[in-house]
Structure 1
Amino acid sequence: MEQLHAHLSHLGSVAVAFSSGVDSTFLLDVAHEVLGAKAVAFTAASPFVPQRDVDEAAAFCREKGIEHVVVPFDTLAIPGVAENPKDRCYLCKHALFSEMAELARARGLAAVVDGSNLDDDGDYRPGRRALGELGIVSPLHEAGMTKADIRALSKERGLMTWDKPSFACLASRFAYGERLTEDGLGRVNRAEEFLMAKGFRQLRVRVHEDATLARIELLPEDIGRFFATAGLREETEQKLRALGFRYVSLDLRGFRSGSMNEGLNS
């Protein structure tokens, strides 16, 4: 925490890329504590981001008295992104953070900062390369913080996000090469919201086979509950078929972050 405070103080003013997730909420809260009005929250509003996340970001900033800038961003208009190549995250983040950097400069803010941490080094994350090329600063990473550190410190600070499930952008639900459309992203979001309403917190609905197959990932300890809940299997199948999926499956390995990257080196 001392390193984080010192780093933010040295920067002097920042635009915090704020998704309302665990990491960026903690970073914004500390930045606001250290820099006051010189810490501004930037939240992207795009087809890749559920509206509930934008709404939660706005509510947090209102509560804390933090200036909040919503950045409308058409991710599907970025050349190459809709085709969902393996470097999709690089293309998207390079375009998005380029725009955020321009907005930050126009406001006289010294740096754009994001919530990347040490755990982000352990998976295929081409978006990190884009951040490095653009000079985006990752104070949590530089302070040596892991996700577990951030959750523990968030709890100490009374942040409601301390145990919030991890949710990457909606595009991460699609197998590489599956074309991304606003309709398809919306269907995945509605499928996940259906399962959240049934009490499942950490989950993914992955999409394969020309968007005909939905593969549900739940925490291993939730799989038994899914089958034990009367009528839930049938209701889930009916709901997802009504959303346009022809086949609905449950992954018996359970939830794991970045599962779409498992076949990259095969």
Structure 2
Amino acid sequence: MDKKIAAQKKNTLISHLKRLPSLMIAFSGGVDSTFLLAVAAEALGERVLAVTATSNVHPITDIRNAKEFTSLKGIRHIMYESDEKNIPEFRANLPDRCYHCKKAICNKLKEIAKAHGITHIAHAINTDDLSDYRPGIKAAQEMGLIAPLVDAELTKEEIRFLSKEMCLKTWDMPSMACLASRIPYGESITDEKISMVQRAEDILAEAGLKQYRVRYHGTVARIEAGTDDFSMFSNQQFREKIIKDFKSIGFLHIALDLEGYRSGSMNRGL
């Protein structure tokens, strides 16, 4: 990565943002949206508004980060309870689940934007996101959301580097994604399954893993661990603790995926 090019892209982003009369950011509390909000707050001041959807499908760590960051920076922030599981396509976990979910979220964002006189709504996708299967991006485009990070041609690596330069604690935070992405397509999404995944991932976080996913396969929990975390499972005492804790949640079999962590691994075969 070229640090000078990354800095130039940030300047391009600032220039684009300053042209906007006002901006709402769909703020998850993750790496990308925190970076975008931080830059937008510098560029637009009080003309920026952060909005966060909250429900049990959103990782609790991201929601906590969202609250803490906006409170620390004094940024206007609205949180609302989203109702993804009332969307039939989401509940059935169809391959285009994210399209219908994003559409519903965008409708809510537009409603809030209108009430607060906000002219533009942005989501924080980066250029790397365009290479994966992301039906939610299509929905956002159809609903008129802008993608400032893509417009500035920023990659995930550059966003992490620039976030570190800005002293944002999210710079090395793992990407979490909606918890529904842990369940295979066609397997219905229920509160019980989401709760099992959240509790299992909390166990891995407390155990010290940095990058991970727990994929739900009925009675089987398939753990995807990042490269730096893989060696932890060579310790028998560590494994036994994970097995015991996962079984207390309701899983009968706990498997370690030898391919490790892969973003969007459930999209294979689509």
TM interval, shorter chain, is over 0.9
Match of 1:214 in 2: 221
* CA displacement, residues 25-64 of structure 1 (integer Å, 9 cap, x when unaligned): 0000011001111101101101211333222211111110
CA distance in 2 between partners of 1:55 and 1:148 (Å): 23
Match of residue 140, structure 1, among 149, 163, 168: 149
SS of aligned partner of 2:75: coil
CA distance in 1 between partners of 2:58 and 2:186 (Å): 20
Q: How does 1:95-244 map to 2 (within 5 A)?
A: 95-208=104-217, 211-228=218-235, 230-244=236-250
* CA displacement, residues 206-245 of structure 1 (integer Å, 9 cap, x when unaligned): 012xx221100001332222122x4121221121122111
Moved more, 111-120 or 71-80: 71-80
Match of residue 52, structure 1, among 55, 61, 64: 61
Superposition CA RMSD, Å: 1.1
User: What code does the residue aligned with 2:230 have?
Assistant: I
CA distance in 1 between partners of 2:11 and 2:267 (Å): 35
CA distance in 2 between partners of 1:2 and 1:253 (Å): 38
Moved more, 59-68 or 48-57: 48-57
User: What code does the residue aligned with 2:58 have?
Assistant: V
Q: Extract unaligned runs of 5+ from structure 1.
A: none
Asked if 1 retains the 8 angstrom alpha-carbon contact of 2:210 and 2:229, the reply is no
Match of 1:259 in 2: 265
Q: Please, what TM-score do these two structures have when normalized by structure 1?
A: 0.95
* CA displacement, residues 127-168 of structure 1 (integer Å, 9 cap, x when unaligned): 110011000111000111000110111111111111111111
Q: Number of aligned residue pairs: give it.
A: 261
Q: Extract unaligned runs of 5+ from structure 2.
A: 1-9
Match of 2:79 in 1: 70
User: What code does the residue aligned with 1:149 have?
Assistant: E
CA distance in 1 between partners of 2:158 and 2:261 (Å): 22
Following superposition, the deviation at residue 248 of structure 1 comes to: 1.1
Q: Please, what TM-score do these two structures have when normalized by structure 2?
A: 0.94
User: What code does the residue aligned with 2:252 have?
Assistant: R
User: What code does the residue aligned with 1:22 have?
Assistant: V
CA distance in 2 between partners of 1:18 and 1:138 (Å): 13
CA distance in 2 between partners of 1:224 and 1:151 (Å): 25
Moved over 6 A (4+): none
Match of 2:4 in 1: none
The share of aligned pairs that are identical, in percent, is 46
Match of residue 89, structure 1, among 87, 98, 106: 98
CA distance in 2 between partners of 1:183 and 1:259 (Å): 22
